[in-house]
Structure 1
Amino acid sequence: CSGFQKKKQRELRQSWARWTACFQGQPITAVRNYFGEKVALYYLWLGWYTYLLIPAAAVGLVVFLYGLAFFNSSPLIKEVCESKAVMCPLCDKRCQVWQLSDTCTYTKLSLLFDNGGTVFFAMFMAVWATLFLEFWKRHRASYVCEWKVSDWNEEEDDLILGIVNNPDAEPKQYKHSYLRSTLVLICVTLMILVIIGLTHALVVFRVMAAVMMAEGSWKLLSDHSNLGSMVLGAFLHYVVITVMTRINRIVARKLCDIEETRSFSATEKSFTVKMFTFQFFTYFSSLFYVAFFLGRINGHPGRYSRIAGKWRLEECHPSGCLTDLFIQMAIIMTLKQTISNVFEFTVPGAELCENCKLRDWFCNYRLDDVNSFSLFNEFLEMVIQFSFTTIFVAAFPLAPLLALINNIIEIRLDAIKMVTLERRIVPKKTNDIGIWTEVLEAIGVMAVIANGLVIGVSSDFIPRIVYHYRYGPCANGSTAADCMAGYINNTLSIAHMADPDIRNEFLPDYKDYRSDGDYSFTPQFWLILAVRFAFVILFEHVVVIFKFVAAWCVPSAPMQVKNVRLLDKFNQLKQENR
């Protein structure tokens, strides 16, 4: 290291790469001067994302507290906790009927995030994602203009680097092969099918685990077999994510080799799209199943859906389907952020111990190695977190708060790692975060669709609205009783058990809208289904309109930046015409 570079590094360690600077701003220009524009823009984006998580986390916390305010006073909770309803067994062997009142605690938990405030929060987060991207473009434009890289062209930069390395070299021409593109598309499709197949394997594991727990001798597990299998499934899902991340990386690189892209930047873009696609399906396939299929394809008493004709397909948690989604997201997000941060910091630190006694160890070649994709790993981690923060946020309003806490630590963790534990990354010039902008925009669109479906299909928001205005005590304008009184009993249907001993004693209930005789769907079921679809369509159209209005109202660059670029262009044209 030169003395000048060591001085820059020392300044970064004092002002940026230390834990005591967690709540201070980042010296982005100093980062750019030492690491180059590409690294600086990553930290600029991460800082901006963390800053805008503050209002999202605050609103999410308010929604959570809103549910907490009705923790004990909600008539729905009171009805569940005082219910005398006897429910159908949750499995075939050694499973007994159970009291609906047993789910009192879990019902309280589910109402913390399945309430009227959830709809507002889902809409807020969809618009927030749009405003975040639009304001990020403005924020980026200010620094790009200051660094004089607004007119930087990636293709020209690649050509210049090629000439510098070999003045006699010819530019690598564009090529396209339909055979290679088709082969890559088929391989990507097969890889996605493999990942979805792993989701099916997780479903089978949860079903078998629930049966084994229910048939076990440990009463605590047998009484909560469904919850236990869901928690075990979430932990196994995290293990699958860890393993598949390595496999996805290998496959994505092999597919990029098959494509034979023209330049490194093209390879990087192609690799980013493939790797994110694989990771997205790895993380979210199981969550999509829990959100939209769990408990909806399991059949009914006397005709349950079974795996291999033997094991009953799992049902939603007795307190509601959204509870399962909440448990999955909470476990996966917490494990991902905690364990990844621990390994990210301790592994390079352990490798560094051999050099601790060497003079100027931060310049030593034996520091942790970096490569062209080191920054990609950081971006991928944060974009996956952004997906958790926006997609399915209706089921987990505290996700932005967890992301905010993680990012405050993540910024300093990455800074310390990059300044003191790793070799200095090769500086590269750029004026944007590249293909990640398009990825974030795609996530914003998926967030609108997913949250609309979660509220309209997965939660009990629509059934409650229908009951309030069509079937409840207030349906005819009466105000004598609470409008939601009797809602829980209204959601239950009577099962005709095959066992004559049980039938003679009582007829247990189960959650569904079916007739008592032939298990056919009731008119109330079809009305709720119609309202669900109508709500999803209305929600998505309203939110999309808000997103377009928000994007239109926020200019992509501040007027001062536009005027500076206009003046620079004007002066350049004057010089050329002299």
Structure 2
Amino acid sequence: MFFKDCKEKMELLEKGKDEQPLLPELPVQKTFDYVLVADKLDDVMDRKYQKQDEFLKELKKKKISIKRIEHDGKLFYGLRAPNDIFEDYQYLLKVSDSCNWCHDEKGLTQANKIRIVHYILENTFIKTGEKLDDLMMEDVFETMFCLHEKKEQKMLRASWAKWGNFYKGQPFDEIKCYFGEKVALYYLWLGWYTKLLVPASVLGIVVFLYALAFFNTSPLIDEVCNSNITMCPPCEKRCDIWNLSDTCSYAKVSHLFDNEGTVAFAMFMAIWATLFLELWKRHRAKYVSKWKVFDWCDEEEEMIMKIVNDPDCQLKEFTHSYKRSALVLILVTVMLMVIIGITHFLVVVRVIAAPLMSESKWEFMSEHSKTLAVLLGAVVHYVTIQIMTKVNRWVAQKLSYLEKPNSFAARERSFTIKMFTFQFFTLFSSLFYIAFFLGRINGHPGNYVRLAGYRLEECHPSGCLTDLFIQMAVIMLLKQTINNILEFSVPWVKGFVRKKTAKRLKRNCGRCYRKACRDNRKDIEPCDTCKIRNWLRNYHLGNTDAFSLFNEFLEMVIQFSFTTIFVAAFPLAPLLALINNILEIRLDAIKMVRLERRLIPRKTNDIGVWTKILEAVGVMAVIANGLVIGISSDFIPRLVYRYHYGPCANGSTSSHCMQGYINDTLSIAYMRQGRQDEFVLPRERNLFNVTQCSYRDYRDAEDYSLTPKFWLVLAMRFAFVILFEHVVVLCKFVAAWFVPHSATSVKNKRMKDKLERLKDELKEKTKTKSTDV
């Protein structure tokens, strides 16, 4: 209704508060469903002008009304679809096979109308066969967007999209009504994921504090820090021998992330991943049942949309080509090989950086050359991730179109799987190298493996897990921090520009309302100045597209992978993820509600193929953590030493059971003095002036052959991996069986709804028969 007092409205206009509604609520529907923007073209013979005009005529044939407003050299077209289209959609939805009980009890909302109009725009063709996406690529139209609803936007801003609400729950029902079920389910999943990170974070802190508690009493740290062992040069020609005690700080850090507590924590996180997914399915069922979309079918809704858009549309049949599938498989394999090749480049960077830094004039760089090389490799890896993300997206798009899927939902699933696969290999290839290959394929003195003329890296005598921890910590911190800053700052700058532009129209809009008040016209249509002000407010917001929500999902699923797959090397990963997610929820909310254009509402009943991806990540977490503990960490060699070779193995209680462990893991080699790159066999010691040095391995000093101790440790490593994985997988199956996917209350409510619907249908039939009689 119009404002009762014009003076009241004018006071609000003079105050200039953006949160106050500038347009009155009219008794008839005046909301535009969509806005198209194009550059003004005066030449009617211009090819762009003709295509623009032809597209608009096609829309008019579908009875879509168009309001044209010119401003600052641009043309804004407000689009409003007739009610007939929405009525047809509701009827077809009601009589469809699997969606007959999926409709919203409140009727067709503005969010649903936006979705229908968006589909019509995306599937309207001109005579040349081009559609809107093609016309936008040719600059016939600049952009298109749907409008924010100011009243609902203000409510969401107050109750959700504020930093001060970080401790409050999220209004999922309001999010669903405004942004659609797909966005609501994203925030429902993110909120549930964040909530379940709390116990994982607490246990991770406990494991970390456990390591700190025995920090000063560990005999392993004491053995490294007070050692007089001479170690072999880490590289050739440019490196010299060094003392094991020089790496005392490195040994202390290694102990924090490679101890007995990490085994229990890794097993807990593998089971946690399964419980999280099972409890999520149960949590999701509660809301999708409440929203009446439990049985929703994306493919069937798309078919309904086709009929609404074109009643004479033809069915797009399912097709399958083995040649096309083989081609896609080959191209995916080639892309993965390229990504793995980039991983080799990162290895080369680390291999070359360490010796170059060791001969630096700066004392700090030369003393910590290995650690700095690891940090440099992590930073270069992060830069590579940013570049490859764009490449991966382009390739995944092309491959998903090459498959020629039957529907948009199928193409979206195909793209999601390919994009995640490429991103997973991009992010984790380097981590897999550090976890499972670093220090194991570098050879031995006199027969080192070289890459680009340089020796491959070796593990520190305290273990290889610290390198993995550094790589994960740098990537997680850089990725989360920089990405969040960019995600927020870019839309904020655009929003700042938008406010400056909108203020220039405030005075003209005020004049428009003064005229309405003077004429006492309560049913007056808002003037073009006020319309264009609202349209410009949305026009200057950050752009959104089909990838906007996909990017958020991908970021969180990658974070979930970091949190679970290599958590044995980084127990604090759940804590970092928890802190990030608390900020991420409000950051994404502020961005969607205040800084970006309105997302196209999508109806769905699940997070889609992401559920399958999360299940696959859970399986990989079991395998990877078992391998990290069994192969990468020193947990098994320490157990073997404690119970088979150490002081306690002989029943001695006078010393610690791990006393002498570090020395037990080192082998001896002989090298010519003055020739740091030349090693000799023991029988040649009398021919040269040699120096004895140690290196990390189980090899015989006489001929560098592997000792029986190596084979015993290797057998125990594999035995542990098999036992760990079988036990955890069994626990995962028990957890999946124990937690039902849907709560009993949800099942009963759905059965009750179906029973009532069938009774209503029978009553309707009886009433019809009595009327006919």
TM range (shorter): over 0.9
Query: Which AA in structure 2 matches 1:553?
Result: F
8 Å CA contact 1:87–1:99 kept in 2: the answer is: yes
Equivalences for residues 143-182 of structure 1 within 5 A: 143-182=287-326
What is the match of residue 365 of structure 1?
Answer: 539
Provide the rounded CA distance (Å) in 1 between the counterparts of 2:757 and 2:720.
55
- Whether the 8 Å contact between 1:45 and 1:136 is mirrored in structure 2 is yes
- 1:559 corresponds to 2:744: yes
1:54-65 alignment runs, 5 A limit: 54-65=198-209
Change (3 A) 1:40 1:268: same
Q: Which runs of 5+ in 2 are unaligned?
A: 1-20, 26-109, 111-148, 507-532, 677-684, 766-773
Match of 1:131 in 2: 275
1:26 is the counterpart of 2:211: no
Please tell me whether the aligned partners of residues 226 and 317 of structure 1 are also in contact (alpha carbons under 8 angstroms). no
Alignment of 1:38-49 (within 5 A): 38-49=182-193
Answering whether residue 455 of structure 2 is matched by residue 312 of structure 1, we say: yes
Q: 2:586 aligns with which of 394, 399, 412?
A: 412
Identity %: 66
Give the SS at the match of 2:194: helix
1:506 Cα shift?
Answer: 4.0
Equivalence map 1:438-457=2 (5 Å) = 438-457=612-631
CA-based RMSD of the aligned residues comes to: 1.6
Please name the residue that 1:523 is paired with.
Answer: 708
Letter in 2 for 1:422: E
SS in 1 for 2:648: coil
Question: Which amino acid in the other structure matches residue 285 of structure 1?
Answer: S
CA distance in 1, matches of 2:308, 2:446: 76
Q: Equivalent residue for 2:261?
A: 117
Structure 1 residue 192 displacement after superposition: 0.2
Work out whether residues 670 and 691 of structure 2, in 8 Å CA contact, stay in contact via their aligned partners in 1.
no
SS of structure 2 residue aligned to 1:60: helix
Cα offset, 1:318, TM superposition: 4.3
Give, in whole Å, the separation in 1 of the partners of 2:459 and 2:285: 48
Aligned to 1:390: 564
Whether 1:14 aligns to 2:126 is no
Q: Does 1:354 align with 2:497?
A: yes
Distance 1:296 1:222 in 2: 25
Task: State the shift of 1:79 in Å.
Answer: 1.1
In the TM superposition, residue 363 of structure 1 has moved relative to its aligned partner by 4.7
Cross-structure match for 2:377: 233
What is the CA distance between 1:505 and its match in structure 2? 6.3
For this pair of structures, how many residues does the alignment match? 577
- Given the alignment, which residue of 336, 351, 355 partners 2:479? 336
Which residue is 2:244 aligned to? Answer: 100
Residue ranges of structure 1 left out of the alignment (5+ in a row)? none
**TM-score with structure 2 setting the length:** 0.73
AA aligned to 2:270 is A
Residue aligning to 1:324: 467
Q: Does the aligned pair in 2 maintain the 1:60–1:401 contact within 8 Å?
A: yes
Give a deviation string over 1:475-521, Cα, whole Å, max 9, x none: 02222221111111111111121448887464111111111101111
Per the alignment, in what secondary structure is the counterpart of residue 106 of structure 1?
A: helix
Are residues 521 and 161 of structure 1, via their aligned partners in 2, closer, same or farther at CA, if it must alter by over 3 Å? same
Deviation readout 1:380-406 (Å, 9 max, x if unpaired): 000000000001100000000000000
**In structure 1, how many angstroms separate the alpha carbons of the residues matched to 2:231 and 2:675?**
16
Structure 1 partner of 2:366: 222
1:381 aligns with 2:555: yes
CA distance in 2, matches of 1:57, 1:401: 5
Distance 2:363 2:240 in 1: 12
1:239-254 superposed matches below 5 A: 239-254=383-398
> 1-side partners of 2:433 and 2:553: how far apart?
27
Q: How many angstroms does 1:302 deviate by?
A: 1.2
Q: Distance in 1 between matches of 2:674 and 2:495?
A: 71
Q: Which has the larger radius of gyration?
A: 2
Rounded Cα–Cα distance in structure 1 between residues aligned with 2:675 and 2:306:
84
Structure 1, residues 535-571: CA drift from partner, whole Å, max 9, x if none? 0000000000000000000010110001111222233
Answer with 353-362 or 9-18: which moved more: 353-362
In 1: Cα distance, 2:256 partner to 2:451 partner:
33
For the pair 1:185 / 2:329, whether they are aligned, the reply is yes
Q: Does 1:571 align with 2:745?
A: no
Amino acid at match of 1:136: W
Letter in 1 for 2:224: V
Q: Which structure shows the bigger proportion of residues in helix conformation?
A: 1
Equivalent residues of 1:103, 1:318 under 8 A apart: no
Aligned to 1:261: 405
Match of residue 121 from structure 2: none
Q: Distance in 2 between matches of 1:320 and 1:42?
A: 40
Distance 1:7 1:418 in 2: 15
> How far apart are 1:575 and its partner, in Å?
4.6
CA distance in structure 1 between the aligned counterparts of 2:477 and 2:722, rounded to whole angstroms: 32
- Aligned mates of 1:571, 1:155 — CA distance in 2: 27
Separation in 2 of the partners of 1:342 and 1:146? 36
Question: TM-score when scaled to structure 1?
Answer: 0.97
For each residue in 1:220-259, what CA deviation from the matched residue of structure 2 results, as whole angstroms up to 9, or x when unmatched? 2222222221111110000000000000000011111211
1:550 is matched with 735
CA spacing shift, 1:267–1:147, aligned 2, 3 Å: same
Contact 1:302 1:498 in 2 (8 A): no
**483, 492, 503: which one aligns with 2:666:** 492
